[in-house]
Amino acid sequence: MSRINIQSVGYISTRDTKGLSPITSAEAIKRGISPDGGLYMPDNMPRFGITDLARLTKTDYPGRAAYILGRYLTDFTEEELLSSARAGYAGFDGAPAPVREISGRESLLELWHGPTCAFKDMALQVMPRLLSMSLDKTGEKRDALILTATSGDTGKAALEGFRDVPRTKIMVFYPSHGVSAVQRLQMVTQEGGNVSVLGVDGNFDDAQTGVKRIFGDPSVISALGGRGIFLSSANSINWGRLAPQIVYYFSAYCDMASEGRIKPGDEIDVCVPTGNFGDIFAAYIAKVSGLPIAKLICASNRNNILTDFFGTGVYDRRREFYTTSSPSMDILISSNLERLLFSVCGAEETAAYMKALSENGVYSVSQGVRDALSDVFCGYCASEEECTAAIKHSWENCGCLVDPHTAVALACAGKYRADNPGVRRRMLVVSTASPYKFAGSVLNALTGSRPDDETKAAAALSELTGTPVPAPLSGLESKTVRFGGSVPPEKMADEVLSFGKR
Ligand SMILES: *Cc1c(COP(=O)(O)O)cnc(C)c1O
């Protein structure tokens, strides 16, 4: 797979109204967010055709990843990308992104066979390696210290991704009273020489606010700088997290074609359970780059701000926030939506919408933007009851055990079907977490009751369904606890400084 004749891709900010020069992908990955507050986007989109798909079909997942990534991250060599993908996906249990047929016209793309059993691994097993190489490529002398506040899942996936990656350290703060027992155990038993985990006395907002304060504290930044360290983040607005997510849509298409579920060139629809809009936006990029996708179905839970947005063109965050059984989709500000706006209307308009959102909590897009969006996207949402029913239906009718996030997507895919009876395209539904990550909710959906302990729920679910508890989630109690204790929010900066010394 030679890389001759590929067009080089630069990166520009979604809020760049001045027309600054594009930067390299390594620089974009190192920076994470643009100094103007915008997100980085490619200045031109690579195109993949039928011959590319045929080539991709013949190779394994890391080979596919290197081929696709190579066209967006043009300042990385093929060897660098291939070795990152090989190392990143080596810790997966079998194929990283298997496609499973669930009905005559629906397929499920399972993205949770990585070390933390949720789809964040697909990007977080690769992005840290890209970041580490980006430091070398950009001539950065300092090492990166990743700071993360987590409500549970992202922290563990980031710890696993960064563990022992050269030139990086990672410190994760979690709310002492805001994560489940399993999530806490997953984090405090984390292995690796460059990791640290600490509880914060308070809730997720306290931890998050504390981290933001440290990012803006000149005394911390200069003290770390004196030791050759700069602060960085691993959150999903970094282009290095988005790019690896484009790969699995191409990979799924190739697999469906080689299994005869579709003919090469056939259009498909894709339904994605959505929170921060990263996963579904990666599907949009795949479409813009030539993958035959017709419609993108944006699936939300009771926090249905995106459903309203695609329905009305108004994004209004001045609304109640609900806690649901699909917590990773409990979001009112979907950061990556900014990238979509930029794609359809450019930096000027995007910057104005984002300003309105931060000042007034609401913006309303022009009719032209609405039309462009509704050509491709449609939004649906599912209630808690519909989510529960989808878990039960999927297990009883297809023998497929799904988690609540995936169930939201299945319920929304069903609504889309009902509204569009004439559409005959195959639907790819994205499955984002192992059912065992949310064993209590899944067990409750199947039996109407649940034990209050998640480990017991997992054992009962396994017994009931005859499916195994994934290895990363079993035997947690017997692992060595490496990190204990918690600090009040005002002590977080001291902890960062003392970790920076080690
Ligand atoms: C993060 C997450 C999502 C939402 O993905 P976005 O890229 O934020 O839209 C959905 N399901 C699970 C299980 C997740 O962890």
Ligand 1 pocket residue status of 405, Cβ below 6 Å: yes
User: Once rounded to an integer, what is the mean pLDDT over residues 372-382?
Assistant: 97
Phi-psi region of 137 (alpha: psi -120 to 50; beta: other; left: phi over 0): alpha
If one residue of 284, 329, 403 were mutated to test the ligand 1 pocket, choosing by the most ligand atoms within 8 A of its CB, it would be 329
Nearest CA owner, ligand 1 atom 15: 328
Ligand 1 pocket residue status of 119, Cβ below 6 Å: yes
CB 243 within 8 A of CB 73: yes
pLDDT digits (tens, 9 = 90+) for 4-34: 567 899 999 999 999 999 999 999 999 998 9
| Position 501 confidence tier, pLDDT thresholds 50, 70, 90 | confident
CB 250 within 8 A of CB 286: yes
Ligand 1 pocket residue status of 442, Cβ below 6 Å: no
Greatest alpha-carbon pair distance for the chain in Å reads 64
> What pLDDT was estimated at residue 414?
97
| Position 502 confidence tier, pLDDT thresholds 50, 70, 90 | confident
Q: Nearest to residue 1, comparing CAs of 47, 61, 86, 70? A: 70
User: Once rounded to an integer, what is the mean pLDDT over residues 384-402?
Assistant: 97
pTM (2 d.p.): 0.95
Ligand 1 pocket residue status of 120, Cβ below 6 Å: yes
| Position 1 confidence tier, pLDDT thresholds 50, 70, 90 | very low
Single-letter amino acid, residue 313? G
Separation between Cα atoms, residue 483 and residue 203, nearest integer Å: 19
If one residue of 330, 405, 431 were mutated to test the ligand 1 pocket, choosing by the most ligand atoms within 8 A of its CB, it would be 405
Structure-token match 């709310």, residue found: 175
The phi, psi pair for 243, rounded to 5°, reads -55, -45
Separation between Cα atoms, residue 486 and residue 445, nearest integer Å: 34
> What pLDDT was estimated at residue 235?
80
Separation between Cα atoms, residue 429 and residue 413, nearest integer Å: 7
> What pLDDT was estimated at residue 478?
87
What percent of the chain is modeled with pLDDT above 90? 83
Q: CB under 8 Å to 388, separation ≥6 — which residues?
A: 325, 407, 444, 445
Ligand 1 pocket residue status of 277, Cβ below 6 Å: yes
pLDDT digits (tens, 9 = 90+) for 284-331: 999 999 999 999 999 999 999 999 999 999 999 999 989 899 988 988
Instruction: Say which of 18, 30, 58, 120 is annotated catalytic.
Output: 120
Q: Is the per-residue pLDDT at 3 higher than 60?
A: no
Ligand 1 pocket residue status of 118, Cβ below 6 Å: yes
Average pLDDT for the chain: 94
End-to-end CA distance of the chain: 43
| Position 124 confidence tier, pLDDT thresholds 50, 70, 90 | very high
Structure tokens at 108: 């499920």
Ligand 1 pocket residue status of 275, Cβ below 6 Å: yes
Single-letter amino acid, residue 320? E
Separation between Cα atoms, residue 396 and residue 404, nearest integer Å: 15
Minimum-distance ligand 1 atom for the alpha carbon of 245: 7
DSSP for 390-405 reads HHHHHHHHH-----HH
DSSP for 37-92 reads S--EEESS-----HHHHHHHHTS-HHHHHHHHHHHH-TTS-HHHHHHHHHHHHTTS
Q: How far is the CA of 276 from the centre of ligand 1 (A)?
A: 7
Q: For this structure, is 120 an active site residue? A: yes
Structure tokens at 332: 């009112």
Lowest mean pLDDT among 45-49, 329-333, 411-415: 329-333
Q: Nearest to residue 432, comparing CAs of 268, 274, 235, 296? A: 274
Ligand 1 pocket residue status of 328, Cβ below 6 Å: yes
H or E, element range at 371: helix 367-376
Separation between Cα atoms, residue 6 and residue 72, nearest integer Å: 10
Q: How far is the CA of 293 from the centre of ligand 1 (A)?
A: 20
Q: Is the per-residue pLDDT at 160 higher than 70?
A: yes
Q: How far is the CA of 328 from the centre of ligand 1 (A)?
A: 5
